[in-house]
């Protein structure tokens, strides 16, 4: 079965670009001076469009956050200059002495 692999950087950049695009759309729709309501468009219609975009933005951020947490957790387990078997020992508790 074929497998596609992506780096965390590629995935993160894609998600950040998606967030930027959605943010720009939200800002454009929210500014009634530069983008007034279309003929026949009600305020409720505009709110509905903004709500849909805001939900997509929240989902994109959640996906980005998930990727970043996973990457950070992986970095904590294995540092940049360490092999998986060379993970540092757990620090001794101060009350152990």
Q: Under a CB-based contact definition with an 8 Å cutoff, are residues 21 and 27 in contact?
A: no
The answer to whether residue 26 is domain-embedded is yes
Per-residue pLDDT, averaged over 76-82, amounts to 58
The answer to whether residue 51 is domain-embedded is yes
Range of the domain at 35: 9-81
Query: What's the sign of the alpha-carbon dihedral 26, 32, 33, 39?
Result: positive
Q: Is the pLDDT reported for residue 96 higher than 90?
A: no
1: pLDDT confidence band, cut at 50, 70 and 90?
confident
Q: What CA–CA distance (Å, rounded) separates 81 from 52?
A: 44
Average pLDDT of the chain to the nearest whole number: 83
The answer to whether residue 38 is domain-embedded is yes
Domain tally, the chain: 1
3-state secondary structure of 7: coil
The answer to whether residue 4 is domain-embedded is no
């Amino acid at each position: 079965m074929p497998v596609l692999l992506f780096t965390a950087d590629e995935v993160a950049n894609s998600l950040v670009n998606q967030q930027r695009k959605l943010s720009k759309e939200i800002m454009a729709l929210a500014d009634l001076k530069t983008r007034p309501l279309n003929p026949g468009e009600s305020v409720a219609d505009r709110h509905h469009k903004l709500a849909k975009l805001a939900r997509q933005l929240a989902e994109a951020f959640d996906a980005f956050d998930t990727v970043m947490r996973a990457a950070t957790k992986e970095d904590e387990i294995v540092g940049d200059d360490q092999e998986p078997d060379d993970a540092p020992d757990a620090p001794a508790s101060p009350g152990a002495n």
